[in-house]
Amino acid sequence: MEVVIVPDAKAGGELIAAAIGRLLRHKPDALLGVATGSSPLPIYEALTAQVRAGGTDASRARICQLDEYVGLPPGHPESYRSVVLREVVEPLGLTEASFMGPDGSAEDIEGACAAYDRALGEAGGVDLQLLGIGTDGHIGFNEPCSSLASRTRIKTLTEQTRLDNARFFDNDIEQVPHHVITQGIGTILEARHLVLLATGEGKAEAVAQTVEGPVAALVPASALQLHPHATVVVDEAAASKLKLADYFRATYAAKPAWQGL
C-alpha cells in the first residue's frame, strides 16, 4: 500500500485525476469505478478540467458504479445512477452507453446483484476503482464486520446512515431507502488499482486503522492492505494520526517520477 500525504483536498483531487489521465492515455477504454459522496468531488472536478483543456481524452472511457439504493427508480435525482451521470458522466462528455451499474429497482434484487458482479468481469474488470472511507472504516456500503470475501450484494442501511443521508431527501428520513446494493469487499479487491481519497480530521482514525492497523472485518477498508496496487491519498488532517507519516512523506518524495501513482 502506498500512502500519499497532500496539502488539501484540491491537491489530492488533482493528483488522482492526473493518474486517471495517464491510465486513459495508456488504455483509452479503461473501466473506471466511481464513488459518490463529497470525498471524490475534487477528483471529478480536476478530471473534467483536464478533459475540457484538451489534456486528457476520456471519450472512450467507461464508468461503473460502486453502489446503488434499492427501490429508487433509475431516474430519481438521488439514485446513485443519477448522481454519477450528473457528476461524472455528463461533465466528461460521455453518454449513458459508457456507463454501467446495478439495477436497484429490479424485482429480483439478489439476481441483480449477481448480474452486476458478472457484468464487471465480462467487461474486463475494473482498471481503477475510486473509494471514499467512512469514519468507521467502511468502503462502499460494506459496514464494519462485512466479510472480506463478500461479493456484490444487498445491505441494510443503519439508522445513522439513513439520518446522515436524509439531507439529500428534503431532510425526511422516511424518504431514504432502507437497503442498498454494494460491491462487496472481494469484488472491490479485484480492481487492478484501488485509490482511496480521505480528507479532514474526522477521517484520521479510520485512515490510521486502515493503513497501520491489522486487517480486520471491523475496519473494512483495512482489506486494502491485501491488494497489490492500493493507493491511499490523504490531506494533512486525515493523516494526523498516522504513526509513520514522516516515512510516507519521505518515500513519496523519493519516488521516481516514471512510477506514477
Q: Alpha-carbon torsion 30, 36, 40, 43, what sign? A: positive
C-alpha cell at 239: 493523516
Q: Which residue has the cell 500512502?
A: 3
- Active-site annotation holds for 235: no
Query: Dihedral through CA 223, CA 26, CA 235, CA 92, nearest 10?
Result: -110
Catalytic residue chosen out of the listed positions 45, 57, 87, 136:
136
Q: Are 30 and 56 in contact (CB under 8 A)?
A: no
- Active-site annotation holds for 246: no
37 Cβ neighbours under 8 A, 6+ residues apart: 132
DSSP single-letter state for residue 86: I
What is the rounded CA–CA span in Å between residue 51 and residue 91? 9
C-alpha cell at 189: 479487491
Angle at 57 between CA 52 and CA 59, to 5 degrees: 100
Catalytic residue chosen out of the listed positions 103, 143, 193, 235:
143
Angle at 44 between CA 148 and CA 260, to 5 degrees: 70
Which residues are catalytically annotated? Answer: 67, 136, 138, 143
